[in-house]
């Protein structure tokens, strides 16, 4: 009887031991499985993050280059060439990502291709930097050249203006007189409009060695108090320095030698048609107004 009880207790102890061992084994397997699931989940998350980082880097490289487009034509041409190289490298990287292989198996290959892509970007940026610096230098040189051309043009115009001013004929010692015509054809001075047949302007054409010699046209324009130009026997029409047409009272072609010459131009009419008032006396030398004064007939 005692032996049978001892045997039952031994069997029960053995069963308890086996049960505890089974529970321990199951717990170990459950824990190990859980850790495997977590590790796998971490690997999936890591792969997704890595792919996102690679995609962002691909976009960043393209944006780094596109930021310089539109600045200059030669820069756009360079960008097109460099972008083609970058696009080929990007295509290789995207093909690796889409190949179905595990990330860990292609990780080194991806890192190698990304290194090539970064190198292409850095080389392109270096070329862009050099080209932009060259463009700025050329722009500065062109600006300096334009400034020099402008200065030369201004100096040329100034010199031409000085030459034109220096070569312009001048008149001095202008004297205006009015005359009445007597029955014998002789003239006598008169200050009364109703008695006047002739208004004469005499002056000296001054010496000028810069003006050049040859034929020079001298014009006299006498404007009556009513605003009308008096028309003499040698009246003529010409364009003044401003391009406006001017009717002259009298004109004379002078063979200018560069020395002083005395001249007289006049309005003359057998009939006494003048009215009292202020007459404006203008003298033009080679179409340029060189003298203006007033003369009063009573």
Mean pLDDT of 250-261: 90
In order of start, what are the domains of the chain with their CATH numbers? 2-135 (no CATH), 171-297 (2.60.40.10)
Q: pLDDT per residue over 84-98, tens digit each?
A: 888 888 888 788 777
User: Is the pLDDT reported for residue 65 higher than 50?
Assistant: yes
Q: For residues 168 and 291, what is the distance between their CA atoms, to the nearest angstrom?
A: 13
The number of CA neighbours under 13 Å toward the Cβ of 118 is 9
Q: For residues 91 and 103, what is the distance between their CA atoms, to the nearest angstrom?
A: 17
Of the pLDDT bands very low, low, confident and very high (cuts 50, 70, 90), residue 146 is confident
Mean pLDDT of 156-162: 55
Mean pLDDT of 250-256: 91
Contact 169, 289 (CB under 8 A): no
Mean pLDDT of 263-285: 91
Give, as one character, the DSSP assignment of residue 249. S
**pLDDT recorded at residue 221:** 94
User: Is the pLDDT reported for residue 31 higher than 70?
Assistant: no
Of the pLDDT bands very low, low, confident and very high (cuts 50, 70, 90), residue 219 is very high
**pLDDT recorded at residue 142:** 82
Of the pLDDT bands very low, low, confident and very high (cuts 50, 70, 90), residue 5 is low
**pLDDT recorded at residue 233:** 84
**pLDDT recorded at residue 253:** 92
* Report for 99-113, 121-135, 222-236: range of highest mean pLDDT: 222-236
User: Is the pLDDT reported for residue 17 higher than 60?
Assistant: yes
Q: Answer with the residue of higher pLDDT: 52 or 153.
A: 52
Q: Answer with the residue of higher pLDDT: 38 or 147.
A: 147
**pLDDT recorded at residue 232:** 83
């Amino acid at each position: 009887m005692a032996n049978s009880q001892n045997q039952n207790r031994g069997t029960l102890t053995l069963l308890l031991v086996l049960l505890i061992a089974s529970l321990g084994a199951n717990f170990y397997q459950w824990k190990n499985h859980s850790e495997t699931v977590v590790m796998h989940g971490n690997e999936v998350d890591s792969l997704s993050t890595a792919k996102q980082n690679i995609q962002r880097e691909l976009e960043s490289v393209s944006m780094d280059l596109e930021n310089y487009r539109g600045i200059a034509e030669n820069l756009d041409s360079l960008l097109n060439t460099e972008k083609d190289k970058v696009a080929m490298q990007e295509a290789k990287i995207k093909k690796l990502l889409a190949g179905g292989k595990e990330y860990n198996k292609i990780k080194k290959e991806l890192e190698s291709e990304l290194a090539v892509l970064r190198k292409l970007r850095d080389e392109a940026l270096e070329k862009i930097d050099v080209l932009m610096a060259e463009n700025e230098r050329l722009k500065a040189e062109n600006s300096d050249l334009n400034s020099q051309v402008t200065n030369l043009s201004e100096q040329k115009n100034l010199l031409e203006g000085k030459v034109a001013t220096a070569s312009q004929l001048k008149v001095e010692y202008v004297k205006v007189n009015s005359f009445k015509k007597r029955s014998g054809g002789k003239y006598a001075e008169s200050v009364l409009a109703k008695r006047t047949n002739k208004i004469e302007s005499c002056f000296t054409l001054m010496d000028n060695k810069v003006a050049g010699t040859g034929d020079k046209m001298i014009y006299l324009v006498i404007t009556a108090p009513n605003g009308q130009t008096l028309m003499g026997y040698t009246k003529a029409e010409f364009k003044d320095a401003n391009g406006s047409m001017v009717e002259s009272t009298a004109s004379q072609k002078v063979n200018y030698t560069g020395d002083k010459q005395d001249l007289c131009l006049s309005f003359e009419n057998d009939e006494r048609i003048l009215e009292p008032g202020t007459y404006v006396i203008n003298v033009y030398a080679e179409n340029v107004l060189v003298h203006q004064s007033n003369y009063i007939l009573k």
